Structure 1
Amino acid sequence: MNTALPKKPTARAIGRRPSGAPSGREAILTVAMPAFARYGYEAVSLRKLAAEADVDAALIARHFGSKSALWMAVVDRLTERQKDYEPQIRALIACSAQRPREALEDFISLFAQISFEMPALPSFLLQEATNPDERLILLNRRVVTPFRRLCLPIIEAAQKAGVIGGTDPALVFSMVITAISVPMVAPTLFLQSESLTATERERVTTAAIQLLVQKAS
């Protein structure tokens, strides 16, 4: 008869990630933006973030130093992700003079793809927009303004060709972005869907194009 005592499970060393798991810093950033987007900056708890990321709470202080620095790292990550789509946007700009309707429709589809791949992004922006302070100023300068400036030639070419209405390209750009991002933020409310699926993304994209792009005469 085997009387050996069962072995105690080996405790994972604090700060050491399981093999194949993302780094502690990456795990923290992965949960940080959805948390800021859902609860707002003031309500985010670093201790709860650490638990969700499966890291020791001290690791947040080690990597970021403070909640404000973590928020800034999230903004840095957004600017990095934004640059990933820059070649596609520049390709649309290049063809917008000759094919303004196609460029605009493809831009709407691309932004829907961005919102689908980063579902917390629209909520994050809207959450900060409700609290105008230094964070909103920084977010506008680092993320919103550069993206708008990059995309405006597509809107301007579409307006010149009569593909889309409006006289203020920046305002029309905002309306295009809103038409996509608002349903993405709350699919249960606006799409009567429990979750944001690829099918729902296509629904939003199609509806936005039908609403915003004027029919060819």
Structure 2
Amino acid sequence: MTTTTTPARRRGRRQRNEISGREALLSSAITEFAKHGYEAASLRAIASGADVDVALCARLFGNKAKLWQAVLDTVADEFEQQHRATFEAIDNLADNQPYQAMYRFIEFHTRFTAENPELSAFLLQEATMSAERTKIIQQQIIQPMQQPMLKVVAKAKAAGVIDYHEPELFLRMLVAAIVFPLMVPEVSPSKRPESLQQRVITEVSRIYLNAPQPE
């Protein structure tokens, strides 16, 4: 009986239906930075995860610091392009239904975190390891992501749906309440039949939002 094996794909030029080496490196970099942090992640491991030669990584990005910056640039650009319409819709909804607008934001951020665990882990990892990198993340990722919601929380406060002294701090506490149990599900055991995502949406809404009173 004869057996055949499929030869491993040689590193080099990719097929047309494959993502580019640059895209593969950026995706692999997020994974490595999320798992090991900036200091421990290596270009060799990132290149291996992307199935490319480490020389390509050096040629495209130069060094690890520039690759890290490219990851942030890509994340910020993709988030703005993909979710601009979502935040515009939430802002429009807040004009007449501020409670529903805030609830929709909680739903959105819960789904986004659950669907992008490595991105969330990357941001959490880096934000706690270096003051300089935290400052960059703050300027390029956190502020632009939360800026569209400042108008919404102002409308929600005016309607009595939420209350705060500092809108930016309120938003970051709200997001942290969503992200932490999703990233560390072991701290949120339950016998309830609902998924963890739905439980987070329900509990965060109860804690942070004042439900509208029937007239």
How does the TM-score come out when normalised to structure 1? 0.85
The RMSD of aligned alpha carbons is 2.3
**How many residue pairs align between the two structures?**
207
Give the superposition deviation at 1:8: 9.8
How many angstroms apart in 2 are the aligned matches of 1:141 and 1:80? 13
Please say if 1:122 is aligned against 2:120: yes
Distance 1:216 1:170 in 2: 23
Alpha-carbon distance change, 130 to 8 in structure 1, aligned in 2, over 3 angstroms: closer
How far did residue 210 of structure 1 move? 2.0
SS in 1 for 2:39: coil
Aligned equivalent of 1:65, options 59, 62, 67:
62
Moved more, 12-21 or 156-165: 12-21
What is the SS of the residue equivalent to 2:161? coil
* Identity, % of aligned positions: 35
Alignment pair present for 1:147 and 2:145: yes
* Cα pair 1:79 1:143 within 8 Å, conserved: yes
Instruction: State the one-letter code of the partner of 2:127.
Output: A
Distance 1:111 1:62, change over 3 A: same
Aligned residue in 2 for 1:23: 20
| Structure 1, 155-164 or 99-108: larger mean CA deviation | 155-164
1:209 pairs with one of 201, 205, 211:
205
Structure 2 distance, partners of 1:175, 1:94, is 23
1:80 aligns with 2:71: no
Q: 1:9 to 1:181 in 2, by over 3 A?
A: closer
Structure 1: tracts of 5 or more residues without a match: 1-5
Moved over 4 A (4+): 6-13
Deviations 1:99-151 (A, max 9, x none): 10010000111111221222122222222221343222222111111222211
**By how many angstroms is 1:213 displaced?**
1.3
Q: Distance in 1 between matches of 2:5 and 2:184?
A: 45
**Any unmatched runs of 5+ in structure 2?**
none
1:7, distance to aligned residue in structure 2 (A)? 9.7
